[in-house]
Amino acid sequence: MSSLGGLQARDRGSLGWGEESSAKGAPGQGDRRSASEEEVDGEARATANLVNLGGHTLRMRVPALLVLLFCFRGSAGPSPHFLQQPEDLVVLLGEEARLRCALGAYWGLVQWTKSGLALGGQRDLPGWSRYWISGNAANGQHDLHIRPVELEDEASYECQATQAGLRSRPAQLHVLVPPEAPQVLGGPSVSLIAGVPVNLTCRSRGDARPTPELLWFRDGVRLDGTTFHQILLKEGTPGSVESTLTLTPSSHDDGATLVCRARSQALPAGRDTTITLSLKYPPEVTLSASPHTVQEGEKVTFLCQATAQPPVTGYRWAKGGSPVLGARGPRLEVVADASFLTEPVSCEVSNAVGSANRSTALDVLFGPILQAKPEPVSVDVGEDASFSCAWRGNPLPRVTWTRRGGAQVLGSGATLRLPSVGPEDAGDYVCRAEPGLSGQGGGAAEARLTVNAPPVVTALHSEPAFLRGPARLQCLVFASPAPDAVVWSWDEGFLEAGSRGRFLVETFPAPESRGGQSPGMISVLHISGTQESDFSRSFNCSARNRLGEGGAQASLGRRDLLPTVRIVAGVAAATTTLLMVITGVALCCWRHGKASASFSEQKNLMRIPGSSDGCSSRGPEEEETGSREDRGPIVHTDHSDLVLEEEGTLETKDPTNGYYKVRGVSPPASPDSCVTSPQWKSPGISNFP
C-alpha cells in the first residue's frame, strides 16, 4: 500500500490521472538536450548507417564524412528536436490513455514503441484496434491514444523520430483496476449470540490494482479492532484480501447495520457491502418490588420483567437462595417479615440461549429482635468487665444497659464496659432494646457479673447450750471462686471436716446467695457434752480461696438450770391447786345428792320457808321472808296426790309443797350451791300472779 500511495502521489503530481500530460507542450524538461546537440547526434547516426551499409571501406572514410556533415549543418538550419516528451500515466481500466509527443524541425516518420515493440508509422496503427495517433503532424503533434485501456496495455512507451534518430524517454503506463464489492462471510444477515466474541470476515476478490484496503463502518463511524491480511496465489501474484473485525456483541446490537468498504487508488470512494446483525441473547432481567419499604406483615408484589431472543421459556423464584415453591410466572406476592431484609428475593429467567438472574432485598421495618444474649462474666476484683448483646431491627433499635433493680442507665450500644470492678459491682446487668415504630418487638436480656474476691465469712446466731449438753455453732461463707476449705479452729486445734473427739463439722449450701456471687455455704460445728471451757473460749470460722482468706469468730452462750426448776415447781403447784379444787367440787356434789335422797324418804316432812340449809336453793326473797318469820318446826302433812305420774314412775316430791310454784317464783341457783336445783312441779296446781 505504501508503494501504491507513492505511486498515486507521483501520478497526481505529474499527469493528474492522464490529463496533465496534455497540458504540457513546451520543451525544456530537465533531461532534454539542446536542439544543436540533437542535430549532431542525428547526423552522426545517419553517417553511422552509411558506414554500416558501405562496409569496411566506408568505415575508413568516417572522419572525412564527419567534417562534411559539420559543414552541411552550419548551412542547413535547426535540427529536429522534442518539443514535448511522454510522461508516466496512470489510468483506470476501461478508460482512455493519452501519451503526448511533439517534435520540432522534423517532418519525417514518427512511430511509437511499446516495451521496445514498434507499433507502426501510420496514424491509425493497423493491427492495434484500440490504438491510434492523433494531432497535427505538420505542427509536430504525434499523441498516442489507447481506448479502452486493458491490463495488457500496462507497459513502457517511447515516441521516436526515425529519420532524425530521436527517441523520447520511456513513459510508463499504469493501469488501475477498481475493487469489486467485498463479501462478508455469513451475510447479508449474520446470526450472533450476545456476549460471545466473534470474528466477522470481509473478503475482496478479483484482480484489483492496487490491492484494495478493507474498512469497517457502523453508522458512518469507522470501527477499530480489525486485522488485515492478504492471500497470495501460488505464482506469487496477489489473490484475495481479507479483513477481520473482532467484536463481542450485546443485545443492543440486535438489528445493527455494519458496512465493509473496499477502496483503493483506483476507487477512492470504495465499494460497500452491508450486513445486518441478528442477535440471540439470554434474557435481560429487571426485578422490582412494590412497595419497596414496608412494615412487617404487609403484602409485597415482586415483578420480574425480561427481554430475550428467542423468547422466555420459564421463570424461577428464590428467597435467600432457597426456591420458592409454587411460584410461577413473572409475578410473586409475599407477606414481608424481617427475613426479607437479609434474604433477598431473586428471579431467574431462561430461554434457549441461556438464563439471567436478578435479586433485590426489601426495606422491611420491624421491631428489635434479640440475636445474641449477653454472657455471664467472671472477673477478679480490680479487673475490667464487659458485656455484649446484639439486637437487630429496622430502624436499628436503641440499646441501653441497666442494673437489675435500678433505673440508672449505665451505657448504650451493644457493649457495656465496667472498669476496675469491685465486689459492690457484682450483680445482674440488663441489656434492653426499646420497641420499634410499630410498637412491636423489644425486650430485655440479662447476665450476671461475678466478682472474684477473698471469702466473706459471717458468724450466725447460735442457741445457748446447757453445760454437758449438745451445742451448735454456724457460720455463713460467700466466696467466688468457691473456697478451697472452711476450717473451724479453737484453742486445742482445728477441724475442717468430719469429727474429732467431741466436735463434728458439717457443710451444706446456703439457701440464698448474695447478689453477683456464687451460692454461699453454711458450716456447722457440733459440740457434744459441752464443758466449762467451751463457754469461755472463741471459735474461729475461716475460709480461703486463691484470692485470699476471710474469717469470723463465734462464741457459745450458756443456759443455766435454775430457771427451769422454778418453772417446773410452778407447774407442780398449779397442778396441785387444780386437783384440790376438783376434789372440793366433787365433795359438794356428793353432799347435795345425799340431801335429795333424804327428801324422798321423808314424804310427810316439809321444811318451813326460811329454814337454813347449807345447800338451800332458796333465793334472796325467801331469805328475807325467813328472817321476818319464825322458823317453825317440821310438820307432818299428807300429799297423797304426789305419788305416781301417768307413766307409773315415781316423781320426786316438792319439799316446799309447791310453795315456789304457787308464788310463781323459780328458785334461783345460789352462788354457793354446787349444782342447780331441779325445777319441781306439782300436778294439778297452776301458777297465778
Per-residue pLDDT reduced to its tens digit, 252-300: 888 999 999 999 888 899 999 999 999 898 899 999 999 999 988 899 9
Q: Please tell me the distance from the alpha carbon of residue 179 to that of residue 167, in angstroms, as a whole number.
A: 36
Mean pLDDT computed over 490-510:
87
Q: Please tell me the distance from the alpha carbon of residue 427 to that of residue 411, in angstroms, as a whole number.
A: 16
Domain end, chosen from 176, 207, 242, is at 176
In a domain, 610, yes or no: no
Q: State whether 268 and 156 are in the same domain.
A: no
Q: State whether 351 and 381 are in the same domain.
A: no
User: What mean pLDDT, rounded, does the chain reach?
Assistant: 76
Q: Determine contact, residues 295/340, Cβ cutoff 8 Å.
A: no
In a domain, 564, yes or no: no
Please choose, from the candidates 251, 268, 259, the residue with its C-alpha nearest in 3D space to the C-alpha of residue 212: 268
Phi (first) and psi of residue 117, to 5 degrees: -95, 125
pTM over 0.85: no
Q: State whether 171 and 201 are in the same domain.
A: no
Q: Please tell me the distance from the alpha carbon of residue 542 to that of residue 442, in angstroms, as a whole number.
A: 47
In a domain, 611, yes or no: no
Mean pLDDT computed over 304-321:
93
Q: Please tell me the distance from the alpha carbon of residue 464 to that of residue 56, in angstroms, as a whole number.
A: 181
Measured CA to CA in angstroms, residue 498 lies from 460, 487, 502, 544, 596 at distances of: 20, 11, 11, 18, 77
633's CB contacts (< 8 A; 6+ apart) are: 608
Q: 92: pLDDT confidence band, cut at 50, 70 and 90?
A: very high
Q: State whether 261 and 190 are in the same domain.
A: yes
E strands in 237-389 = 238-247, 257-264, 267-290, 293-295, 299-309, 314-319, 322-323, 331-335, 345-350, 355-360, 363-372, 377-380, 385-388
For position 1, what pLDDT does the model report? 35
* Least confident stretch, 134-148, 269-283, 510-524: 510-524
pLDDT for 39-86, tens place per residue? 434 443 443 343 343 443 334 443 444 434 444 444 456 899 999 999
Q: 492: pLDDT confidence band, cut at 50, 70 and 90?
A: confident
Q: Please tell me the distance from the alpha carbon of residue 80 to that of residue 134, in angstroms, as a whole number.
A: 20
In a domain, 275, yes or no: yes
Q: How many distinct structural domains can be found in the chain?
A: 4
Q: Please tell me the distance from the alpha carbon of residue 513 to that of residue 478, in angstroms, as a whole number.
A: 8
Q: Determine contact, residues 577/530, Cβ cutoff 8 Å.
A: no
For position 261, what pLDDT does the model report? 93
For position 623, what pLDDT does the model report? 38
Mean pLDDT computed over 394-404:
90
In a domain, 625, yes or no: no
3-state secondary structure of 342: helix
Mean pLDDT computed over 400-409:
91
Q: Please tell me the distance from the alpha carbon of residue 146 to that of residue 167, in angstroms, as a whole number.
A: 20
* Least confident stretch, 90-94, 269-273, 540-544, 598-602: 598-602
Q: How far is CA 595 from the centre of its chain?
A: 114
The helix/strand count (H/E) of the chain reads as 9, 48
For position 512, what pLDDT does the model report? 64
Q: Please tell me the distance from the alpha carbon of residue 423 to that of residue 457, in angstroms, as a whole number.
A: 14
In a domain, 53, yes or no: no
Q: Determine contact, residues 69/119, Cβ cutoff 8 Å.
A: no
How far the first Cα of the chain sits from its last, in Å, is: 172
Please choose, from the candidates 382, 551, 541, the residue with its C-alpha nearest in 3D space to the C-alpha of residue 455: 551
- C-alpha cell belonging to residue 301: 408484589
Q: State whether 242 and 347 are in the same domain.
A: yes
Q: Please tell me the distance from the alpha carbon of residue 631 to that of residue 310, in angstroms, as a whole number.
A: 150
Q: 637: pLDDT confidence band, cut at 50, 70 and 90?
A: very low
Q: Please tell me the distance from the alpha carbon of residue 680 to that of residue 662, in angstroms, as a whole number.
A: 11
pLDDT for 237-250, tens place per residue? 556 888 999 988 98
For position 518, what pLDDT does the model report? 61
Domain end, chosen from 531, 555, 579, is at 555
Determine whether 56 is exposed, middle or buried from the number of CB atoms within 10 Å of its CB (0-12, 13-18, 19+). Answer: exposed
Q: Identify the domain containing residue 548 by its residue range.
A: 461-555
Q: State whether 321 and 200 are in the same domain.
A: yes
Domain end, chosen from 555, 589, 609, is at 555
More confident residue, 417 or 520: 417
Q: State whether 332 and 206 are in the same domain.
A: yes
In a domain, 125, yes or no: yes
Angle in degrees, 0-180, between the axes of helices 35-54 and 62-76, rounded to the nearest 10: 140
CATH number for the domain spanning 101: value is 2.60.40.10
Q: State whether 376 and 252 are in the same domain.
A: no
Q: State whether 170 and 195 are in the same domain.
A: no
Q: State whether 200 and 270 are in the same domain.
A: yes
Q: Please identify which residue in the block is written with the cell numbers 352462788.
A: 671
Q: State whether 216 and 304 are in the same domain.
A: yes
Q: Please tell me the distance from the alpha carbon of residue 364 to that of residue 298, in angstroms, as a whole number.
A: 9
For position 566, what pLDDT does the model report? 65
For position 17, what pLDDT does the model report? 31
Q: 560: pLDDT confidence band, cut at 50, 70 and 90?
A: confident
For position 605, what pLDDT does the model report? 40
Q: Please check the confidence at residue 602 and state whether its pLDDT lies above 70.
A: no
Mean pLDDT computed over 347-368:
92
DSSP 203-241: EE-S--BSPPEEEEEETTEE---EEEEEEEPTTS-EEEE
In a domain, 495, yes or no: yes
Determine whether 135 is exposed, middle or buried from the number of CB atoms within 10 Å of its CB (0-12, 13-18, 19+). Answer: middle
pLDDT for 149-205, tens place per residue? 999 999 999 999 998 889 999 999 999 999 889 999 998 999 999 888 999 999 987
Q: State whether 136 and 195 are in the same domain.
A: no
- C-alpha cell belonging to residue 617: 336453793
